[in-house]
Amino acid sequence: MCGIAGIAGIHDIRQALTTALERLEYRGYDSAGMAIHSAGGIDVRKSVGSVATLAATLPPEPVPGSGIAHTRWATHGAPSTRNAHPHLSYDASIAIVHNGTIRNIAELRGELDDLGVSAVSDTDSEVLAHLVAWHRGQGADTETALRLALARVDGDYAVLVIAADRPGTLVAAADGSPLLIGVDGRAVHIASDRAALASECTHYSHVLDGEVVTITTAVPAGRDWKPASRESGWQGKGSYPNFLLKEINDQPRTTRAAISALFSPIAPGSPADWSATLDRPSIKRVRFLGCGSSYYAGEVSASFVEQLARVPAAAEPAAEFIQRRPVVEPDCLYVLISQSGETLDTLHAHRYLRRHPVQTLSFVNVVGSSLDRDSGASIHLRADKEVSVASTKVVTNMQIAGLALAAWLARADYGARSAELLELDLALPILPTILADLLAGKDAEIRAAAESVHAYRSMYYLGRGASWPVAREGAQKIKEISYIHAEAYQSSELKHGPLALVDPEHVSVVVAANDDSGNQDATLVSQIQARAGNVVVFSQHQTCEFGATTIRLPAIHPLLDHIVMGVALQLFAYHTATILDRDVDRPRNLAKSVTVE
The residues annotated with a catalytic role in the active site are: 2, 592
The edge-to-edge listing of strands for the beta sheet with 41-48 is: 41-48, 31-38, 65-72, 3-10, 188-191, 180-183, 203-206, 226-227
Strands 203-206 and 226-227: antiparallel
To 10 degrees, the CA torsion angle through 261, 267, 270, 276?
A: -160
For residue 484, give the nearest of 457, 455, 454 by alpha carbon: 457
DSSP class of residue 138 equals T
The C-alpha atoms of residue 326 and residue 343 are separated, in whole angstroms, by: 20
Residue 550, phi then psi, degrees to nearest 5: -130, 125
The C-alpha atoms of residue 6 and residue 397 are separated, in whole angstroms, by: 32
Strands 285-290 and 313-317: parallel
Chain centroid offset of residue 470 CA: 18
Q: What is the 3-state secondary structure (H, E, C) of 345-388?
A: HHHHHHHHHCCCCCEEEEEECCCCCHHHHHCCCEEECCCCCCCC
Name the amino acid, one letter, at 29.
Answer: Y
For residue 5, give the nearest of 46, 66, 88, 64 by alpha carbon: 66
